[in-house]
Structure 1
Amino acid sequence: MTTGAPTSSSTAPARRSRLRRYLPLGLAAWLVLEIWLLTLVAGAAGGLTVFLLLVAGVVAGSVAIKRAGRRAFQSLNEALQRGGSPERGGGNGLMMLGGLLLIIPGMISDVMGLLLLLPPVHKAVSRWTESALERRLRRAAPGSLGNVFQQARIHRPDGKVVQGEVIRDDRPGSGEQDRRPPLAR
C-alpha cells in the first residue's frame, strides 16, 4: 500500500484568538441575561409596559441614529465646501452605536445606549478609544497594518501559509488567444 506525500506531524491547527474563543459565549450570556431581565420587568410591571419600553427604545434609537447621520453629513458637506477634509473624531460613530444599542431589544443594551448618548460618557469613551487605537498602531510594524491582512493569505491543503500575488498576462498576442466572446451584433 502506498501513501501520498509525507506530511509533517507538527502542523497543529492555528490557535484561536481570545476574542474568537469567548465572543460566542459572551453573546449567549448577554442574550440570556437580556431575556431574564425582560421577564422580570414583565412580571413586575406587566407585558404592556415591557412592550412600550421596547417601542420607546426603537424610537429613541432611530432618532439618535438619524441625528448623528445628519451631523456627519453636515460636517462632510462643510468640509468639502472649505476644500479640506472632515474633522477627525466628530463623535458621530459613538452616537450611532448608542442609537443602535437602544434599538436592540433589551434592558442592558438600552442602558448602555443611553449612557453612550450622555456627553461626559461619550467624551470619555471617545478619548479611550482613540488612545487605544493609537497605541495599537504604534505597536504594529512600520508600513504594515499588523495582523489585519492575516486572513487574506492563501492556505495550502497541508496547512502551510503561502504569501504571494497572482500576475496574469491576458493581453491578446501574448501566446494565448482572446477568450472573450464577440459583442452581439
Structure 2
Amino acid sequence: MTTGAPTPAYRTSTSQQPRRSRLRTLLPLGLAAWLVLEIWLLTVVAGAAGGFTVFLLLLAGFLLGAMVIKRAGRRAFKNLNEALQRGTAPGQGGGNGLMMLGGLLLMIPGLASDALGLLLLLPPVQKAVGAYAERRLRQATPGTLGDAFQQARIHRPDGKVVPGEVIRDEQ
C-alpha cells in the first residue's frame, strides 16, 4: 500500500491547450457592449419622448419585423416551389435570407437593432452585404457542397480512402 498524494492522470500545461479564437474571446464582449448601447438608447429616447413612445416604437418594430419575415418566407417558399416544379435546383436566396435577418433584427427589442434591421431591408445594402458574404464564403470553403459530401463519403474513420461506389447485387 502506498501513501502520499495521488498523481493526476493528466497534466495541465498552458502550452498544450489550444488558444481561444479571437471570435470566441471578443463575441461576449461585443454582445455586452451591444446590450449596454441598446439600454442606453432606450433610456435616452424615453427621457426625451416618454416611456409610452418607446413602448410604441418597440411594438411597431416587432410588428414590422414579423411582417417582413412572413413576406420573405413566403417569397422563399414560392421560389423553392417553382424551382421544384421546373425540375431545377433552387437558385440563390435572392435576398430573402437578408430580409429575414432584417426582420429578426426589427423584432429584437432595441433601437440600434431596429436601425440595423431597417438598413438590411434596403436593396442596395442587401446587394452589398450579399456580395461580401458570398465572396467570404467562397474564400472560406473551396469547392462545392457536393465535393464535401464526396470527401465525407470516401474517407473511413480509420483513415483509409476507399475510391469507387458500392453496388449491391440483390439476389
Query: CA–CA distance in 2 between the matches of 1:138 and 1:99?
Result: 31
Paired residue for 1:73, among 77, 86, 92? 77
Total equivalences in the alignment: 146
Identity across aligned pairs (percent)? 65
- Deviation of 1:89 after TM superposition, in Å, equals 3.4
Paired residue for 1:22, among 10, 23, 26? 26
Match of 1:102 in 2: 106
Of Structure 1 and Structure 2, which has the larger fraction of its residues in helix?
Answer: 2
Q: How does 1:138-157 map to 2 (within 5 A)?
A: 138=142
The alignment status of 1:46 with 2:84, answered yes or no, reads no
Cα deviation 1:40-76 (Å, max 9, x = unaligned): 0000000111000000000000001001100110000
Gaps of 5+ in 1: 146-163, 166-185
* AA at the equivalent of 1:125: V
Moved beyond 4 Å, runs of 4+:
4-11
Query: CA–CA distance in 1 between the matches of 2:148 and 2:32?
Result: 35
Q: TM-score, normalised by structure 2?
A: 0.77
Q: Note if contact 2:76-2:93 (Cα within 8 Å) is conserved in structure 1.
A: no
Q: TM-score, normalised by structure 1?
A: 0.71
Question: Alpha carbons of 1:92 and 1:6: their partners in 2 closer, same or farther (altered >3 Å)?
Answer: closer
Paired residue for 1:137, among 130, 134, 141? 141
Question: Alpha carbons of 1:47 and 1:4: their partners in 2 closer, same or farther (altered >3 Å)?
Answer: closer
Query: CA–CA distance in 1 between the matches of 2:69 and 2:118?
Result: 12
